[in-house]
Structure 1
Amino acid sequence: MPGVSSLPRSTPEDQGLSAAAIDAFVAAMDASEQEFQTVILLRHGHVVLEAEWAPYRLADPHTLYSVSKSVTAIAIGLAVDAGLLTIDDKVVSFFGPEDLPETISDNLAAMSVRHLLTMSTGHSEDTVEKMSQDRGWVRSFLGFEVQHEPGAPFVYNSGATYMLSAILQRVSGETLLDYLQSRLFMPLGITEATWGSSPEGINFGGWGLSLSTESMAKIGQLALQHGVWEGSQLVPAEWIEAATTKQVSNDNQTNTDSRLGYGFQYWRGRHNTYRADGAFGQFILGIPDHDAVVIVTSAASNMQAELDLIWDHLLPALEGKEVPVVARPEVLEIPAPTGPAAQGGDGQTYTFGKNPGFLESVRWDADGSASLTFGSDTHLFTAGGWRESDAGSERVVTTSYGDGDALVATIRWLEGPHSARFSCRIADGRMTLDGRLNVSFAPTEFTLTSE
């Protein structure tokens, strides 16, 4: 069994796998159009593959996006086991008049914890965007029209997971993060967990959790072991079983691996798999038929392509089939774009209005260096490869080069999937900037002119 401080390591051969097949899988990841950043493969509870594409690191915390939902579901399972609630409790029963609408519709009255867990609340669309426009997110959620009887169509709804976090906080007196610290994270040896919160002091639940890749692997292995860790039943086995099996139909989804059923905040997939799944390709993939777990952090524009790569290149190895021999690259890295130092800077600071890249200002100096400000953090950009910034608490690398009359500045925020490239030109006392984001919920390309 894995220890609390770190997972045991093993050679692939000792766990019934071909090392050459694992190398070929890594080579396929490296050659993919999808950008992989870290990966861990567990087989029979042992790490048989761990890889990081520099400048990313396995040990760094990583924004998990909706992988957070599956961890929230584990917390609800613990609370159910402790007798704090049942999944058939009605959502409105946890909240008082200050949060409830004056008139409670029949559909809202019928909504239960089970419906929150299975994304079958009866809403016709995700509530999170409208909900987050109000400081009182709980009141906002409960005030929305519930168009269908709960249990009806599956509609992916991050607002529903936020409500699970709110309910847990009501019944336990602790935030979701605090509730999990002694009950899950500490027994697993997870010490770096952070979780963002709403203006009303409730952890987001559906997003906002940050963990290292190895900590993600521990959670994946815990699920594969039916909630057992080092001989102790941390999470009830029946809860893990319910969470990772099909509870509702979601065949209204488009991706092949996202329309085979939804559990309690877990997706079902092909080959009898389940996964915790986060935007831009963060996931914990359980493959029980082969006693394996795959953990990936990435910046993927096509998450189905990412899963297809696993089915095409890793699954045959798990099945013991021969695979083509492809050498693993000697160095795994995401290289910095390079070129000469940018010429033409005037040392002036140019400011910009609200934009998808969160860029506030640019100063381009005559020596070719530049300073770009995002919120309270100002980062220095120079030519010659990645430069780790010393601004802010998050790991960030930057680089720049000159392209004709343009300064091309690239930044990577290493504790998440995001990077951005800004091509800047100065003319007639103003700066024009063409921005490109690798992945984003907003437009990935935009043009700005300084104020």
Structure 2
Amino acid sequence: MKTKKAMVAAMMLIALSACKQVNQPAEVIDLPRTQTPGSVAKAMDGFLTEAAADSLDIHSVMVVKEGSVIYSRWQSQGVDTVPHILNSVSKTFTATAVGMAIADGKMALTDKVIDFFPDKLPAEVSDNLKAMTVRDLLTMTCGHDEEPRAARTADQDWVTAFLAHPVVHKPGTYYLYNSMGTYMLSAIVQKVTGEKVVDYLTPRLFEPLHIDKPRWDESPQGINTGGWGLYLKTEDLAKMGQLILQKGLWNGRQLVSADWISEMSKKQVESINPGTRLEQAEERGLTTETSDWMQGYGYQMWRCRPGCFRADGARGQFIIVVPEKQAVIAITSDVEDLQGELNLVWKHILPVL
């Protein structure tokens, strides 16, 4: 039988433990909600009405201001509990994995791409291929004159096919949107960590953000596609945007280096629309005044005309981070006119933030 003194001591320990639990900040599972301001509600009505009039099929919108969701809506094919195809928004997650692997001492920006795959090199390795670095892959300046889309077949090794593709330009000097370059980043992360990107990110990013381990498509070689193929829910996108807005800090933990977030999101190179060659810009009427794809490219992220930046995917998938407004806008869609969609964001949403 316990003595009275022992029982009192045990009760004090329980009380102290309870106090500690009460005083500890609760982890964020879902982003906190706050009432939608009238100005935001009116602006969102205008955004969605004009989008519908322009045949822009918006699936979901979530607006976060100072860490709280001030507006959210799902419509058309959008469902709050169902992960949405992200297309090239996937690239930003791959770049995050690269930054983490660099911080872990597994690789460096200046590492040569050929050094990771000595057994997959072509018979003749050009000087330009020898010069290609991890940074060149991140900035879409690996030196290809055309993206090696033909490498994406079921009957060949995608890394081997990428390395065999002619490197016409000196790496670092010529911008060409290149999803296979992002696949190579995924392959490198898997090579140096021993884990697929989705598995490497799970304890480091997805679990701390309370994002269910997502689906991410793979190549025939069992490597996450990197530049596409990731599926997440709208709130997951908003959380990622909030993490980036907070320079990689989440619930008191530095999940991603603040310096890496800065490098990802700043202009590293000049840029042009995906699928457009640099010399075609003028004849297509693309200018820095009218195009959000000509504001510069970071590490798998785009700069925007209003001075913010975004993760960007085909058919209108966006994580837009607006540091000056301490805001994040997450959008999923199925549209052809991505510039028209962004124009409506700048017209209706940005002014009320």
TM-score (norm 1): 0.67
Question: Aligned letter for 2:265?
Answer: T
Q: Does the alignment pair 1:262 with 2:262?
A: no
Q: Is the 8 A contact 2:206 2:213 kept in 1?
A: no
**Partner in structure 2 of residue 160 of structure 1:** 181
Q: Is the 8 A contact 2:63 2:72 kept in 1?
A: yes
- Residues 199-233 of structure 1 deviation map (CA, whole Å, 9 limit, x = unaligned): 01100000000001111111111111110111111
Once residues 104 and 176 of structure 1 are traced to their aligned partners in structure 2, the CA distance between those partners, rounded to angstroms, is 28
**Partner in structure 1 of residue 165 of structure 2:** 144
Deviation at 1:4, TM superposition (A): 3.3
Seen in structure 2, the aligned counterparts of structure 1 residues 108 and 180 have a Cα distance that, compared at 3 Å, is same
Q: Does the alignment pair 1:45 with 2:67?
A: yes
Once residues 44 and 23 of structure 1 are traced to their aligned partners in structure 2, the CA distance between those partners, rounded to angstroms, is 22
Once residues 215 and 151 of structure 2 are traced to their aligned partners in structure 1, the CA distance between those partners, rounded to angstroms, is 25
**Partner in structure 2 of residue 89 of structure 1:** 111
- Residues 289-337 of structure 1 deviation map (CA, whole Å, 9 limit, x = unaligned): 111111111111100000000111112212xxxxxxxxxxxxxxxxxxx
Within the candidate set 51, 69, 72, 2:91 is matched to: 69
**Partner in structure 2 of residue 112 of structure 1:** 133
Q: Is the 8 A contact 2:292 2:303 kept in 1?
A: yes
Q: Is the 8 A contact 2:98 2:185 kept in 1?
A: yes
Question: Aligned letter for 1:53?
Answer: Q
Q: Is the 8 A contact 1:115 1:151 kept in 2?
A: yes
Q: Does the alignment pair 1:309 with 2:347?
A: no
Seen in structure 2, the aligned counterparts of structure 1 residues 134 and 155 have a Cα distance that, compared at 3 Å, is farther
Deviation at 1:128, TM superposition (A): 2.7
Deviation at 1:18, TM superposition (A): 4.5
**Partner in structure 1 of residue 268 of structure 2:** 247
**Partner in structure 1 of residue 312 of structure 2:** 277
**Partner in structure 2 of residue 60 of structure 1:** 82
**1:275 counterpart SS class:** strand
- Give RMSD over aligned pairs: 1.8
**Partner in structure 2 of residue 11 of structure 1:** 35
Q: Is the 8 A contact 1:21 1:317 kept in 2?
A: yes
Once residues 26 and 170 of structure 2 are traced to their aligned partners in structure 1, the CA distance between those partners, rounded to angstroms, is 44
- Residues 184-204 of structure 1 deviation map (CA, whole Å, 9 limit, x = unaligned): 000000005110000011000
Q: Does the alignment pair 1:223 with 2:244?
A: yes
The percentage of aligned residue pairs carrying the same residue is: 46
TM-score (norm 2): 0.85
Seen in structure 2, the aligned counterparts of structure 1 residues 52 and 110 have a Cα distance that, compared at 3 Å, is same
**Partner in structure 1 of residue 210 of structure 2:** 189
Question: Aligned letter for 2:145?
Answer: S
**Partner in structure 2 of residue 323 of structure 1:** none
Once residues 294 and 32 of structure 1 are traced to their aligned partners in structure 2, the CA distance between those partners, rounded to angstroms, is 20
**1:187 counterpart SS class:** coil
Once residues 47 and 76 of structure 2 are traced to their aligned partners in structure 1, the CA distance between those partners, rounded to angstroms, is 18
Within the candidate set 221, 224, 228, 1:207 is matched to: 228
**Partner in structure 1 of residue 6 of structure 2:** none
> Between Structure 1 and Structure 2, which shows a larger proportion of strand residues?
1
Instruction: Give unpaired runs (5+ residues) of structure 2.
Output: 1-24, 273-277
Q: Is the 8 A contact 1:2 1:46 kept in 2?
A: no
**Partner in structure 1 of residue 333 of structure 2:** 298
Once residues 169 and 200 of structure 1 are traced to their aligned partners in structure 2, the CA distance between those partners, rounded to angstroms, is 11
Seen in structure 2, the aligned counterparts of structure 1 residues 55 and 201 have a Cα distance that, compared at 3 Å, is closer
Once residues 31 and 47 of structure 1 are traced to their aligned partners in structure 2, the CA distance between those partners, rounded to angstroms, is 26
Deviation at 1:2, TM superposition (A): 9.4
Seen in structure 2, the aligned counterparts of structure 1 residues 161 and 191 have a Cα distance that, compared at 3 Å, is same
Q: Any residues of structure 2 matched to 1:429-444 within 5 Å, and which?
A: none
Once residues 281 and 21 of structure 1 are traced to their aligned partners in structure 2, the CA distance between those partners, rounded to angstroms, is 19
> Between Structure 1 and Structure 2, which shows a larger proportion of helix residues?
2
Question: Aligned letter for 1:189?
Answer: H
Q: Is the 8 A contact 2:180 2:227 kept in 1?
A: yes
- Residues 147-166 of structure 1 deviation map (CA, whole Å, 9 limit, x = unaligned): 00001111000110000000
Deviation at 1:250, TM superposition (A): 1.3
Deviation at 1:127, TM superposition (A): 1.4
Once residues 36 and 87 of structure 1 are traced to their aligned partners in structure 2, the CA distance between those partners, rounded to angstroms, is 37
Once residues 101 and 193 of structure 1 are traced to their aligned partners in structure 2, the CA distance between those partners, rounded to angstroms, is 35
Q: Does the alignment pair 1:287 with 2:322?
A: yes
Once residues 286 and 2 of structure 1 are traced to their aligned partners in structure 2, the CA distance between those partners, rounded to angstroms, is 25
Deviation at 1:55, TM superposition (A): 4.8
**2:205 counterpart SS class:** helix
Once residues 41 and 26 of structure 2 are traced to their aligned partners in structure 1, the CA distance between those partners, rounded to angstroms, is 22
Q: Is the 8 A contact 2:267 2:298 kept in 1?
A: yes
Question: Aligned letter for 2:106?
Answer: L
